[in-house]
Amino acid sequence: MPLLFRNSRIRLTPGQIFWREVGQGCPVVFLHGGQHDGSQWLPLLEKLGQNYHCFAPDLLGFGDSENPKVHYSIQLQVECLGAYLDALHLESVYLVGHSVGAWIAASYALQHRDRVAGLALISPLGVAQNSDRDRWKTERWLVNPIAPLFLQIFAPFAKIFGLGQRLKALRQRRAHLLQFPTFCKLLFRRRAAEISAELLDNRLEFLQMPVLILQGAQEDQNQITASQTYAKLATDAKLSLINQGDRHLLETMPDLVATEIETFFGY
């Protein structure tokens, strides 16, 4: 029988939150990545909604949730998640997060250990990587309002030195990033020291619940290293490397990801 999805909204102190909901039973909350919204989880919800009560909110500032004029941070998203769970009277949940959503999920679990039964983290961000810092410097520059001027000035030299494709790639990357303004505020428009203070390297050993890390083996090495760091530092963690998986793991292998999560949660 087809599952009936429900769309809802609730006003919290930080702002209005929109979410998708399906199924009954043990509650599982899904936190999307920084370049997505809650619809990212629909293929998984169709499978996991058979056995779980699934909630897929759009994080504050993303998708159909409100985008208030506030200073965005991981901690703000953690507080908003807590207010959301309180409003829905969800005392103990499983959390599933992707990328930035995994960072938020792990941060929430560290602050509310008694309210998280388990974590499934897919390609998680939130640990220190030197190459991340270098990449983020580039992307921080790309989302700067003056970047188009510099790219325009650079264009004649790019043609001379055979860097036309590189220039095109930078422009495309800028256009893509600007589609996700809250993601840019979280990672590229805050002081580096503030972001570093929210990294989890020194706290992961205090995660006191089972943790599953899912990682595509074909993703870039820096991301694989981040997942390995989570698995190494978290007390009760299991890393599952999916051989043919890449950065689009959720889109290309939703059934496999759903099976991994279902097996790990034990239902």
Same domain, 163 and 207: no
Q: Residue 13 is part of a domain; what is its CATH number? A: 3.40.50.1820
Q: Is the residue at 193 inside a domain?
A: no
For the ranges 91-100, 151-160, 196-205, 228-237, which has the lowest average pLDDT? 151-160
Which domain-ending residue is among 121, 156, 185? 185
| pLDDT, mean over the chain | 91
pLDDT band for position 157 (cuts 50, 70, 90): low
pLDDT above 70: percentage of residues in the chain: 95
Which tops the pLDDT comparison, 4 or 99? 99
Work out how many domains the chain is built from and give that number: 2
The answer on pLDDT for 132 being more than 90 is no
Which two three-digit tokens encode residue 170? 């930078």
Find out whether 110 and 203 touch, Cβ atoms under 8 Å.
yes
Report helix, strand or coil for 118.
strand
Q: Are 122 and 245 members of one domain?
A: yes
Mean per-residue pLDDT, 34-53: 95
Domain that holds residue 204: 6-130+199-265
* Residue 74 located in a structural domain: yes
Task: Answer yes or no: do 146 and 23 share one domain.
Answer: no
235 in any annotated domain? yes
pLDDT of residue 102: 98
Same domain, 156 and 208: no
Is residue 255 situated within a structural domain? yes
Helix (H/G/I), strand (E/B), else coil: 152? helix
pLDDT digits (tens, 9 = 90+) for 98-127: 999 999 999 999 999 999 999 999 999 999
Whole-angstrom Cα distance, residue 25 to residue 143? 43
Q: Are 112 and 232 in a shared domain?
A: yes
